[in-house]
Amino acid sequence: MEPTSIALWLLIIVGVLFIIGKIRDRRLVNSVTKRNKGTKSERDLVLKLLKYGIPAQNIFHDLYVKKSNGNFTQIDLVVATKVGIIVFEIKDYSGWIFGTGYKPQWTKVLVYVISPTLGENHK
């Protein structure tokens, strides 16, 4: 076989394995939630939790909980474990969030990455 043929077959095999992996991941996520619910970051975390061995029936995505005043609040992700319930609020940016469960207002500090070339004199 020619090297070009071998390279082509390897490329085809890698492509097929990639597609099979994506299909497997999609089926895993679908065991917990639908593709159109929540954000991609939320579904990515669901997939990571499943791959870490958390059973699908212990993961709850995109929940709506009725509050005492009759309104609803949305929760991104809840995981039931032997030691307790873990609640996730997922954001698609870098930084820190400071607050407590007793205060309605929290503080967010975003991290902005500045390119190393900004501010330099280019010759």
Instruction: Report which of 54, 53, 35 is spatially closest to residue 43, judged by C-alpha positions.
Output: 35
Asked if the structure places residue 112 within a domain, the reply is no
Compute the average pLDDT of residues 99-118. 78
Torsions phi, psi for 40 (to 5 deg):
-60, -40
The count of structural domains within the chain is 1
Compute the average pLDDT of residues 85-113. 85
Q: In angstroms, rounded to a whole number, what is the distance separating the alpha carbons of residues 109 and 100?
A: 15
Residues contacting residue 102 through CB under 8 Å, at least 6 positions apart: none
- The three-state secondary structure class of 59 is strand
Could you list the residue range(s) of the whole structural domain that residue 77 is in? 3-89
Asked if the structure places residue 107 within a domain, the reply is no
Asked if the structure places residue 50 within a domain, the reply is yes
pTM, two decimals, is 0.68
Asked if the structure places residue 97 within a domain, the reply is no
Asked if the structure places residue 113 within a domain, the reply is no
What pLDDT is stored for residue 29 in this prediction? 92
The percentage of residues in the chain with a pLDDT greater than 90, rounded to a whole number, is 56
Structure-token pair, residue 30: 């679908």
Mean pLDDT lowest among 9-23, 70-84, 101-115: 101-115
Amino acid (1-letter code) at residue 63? L
Torsions phi, psi for 43 (to 5 deg):
-65, -35
Asked if the structure places residue 48 within a domain, the reply is yes
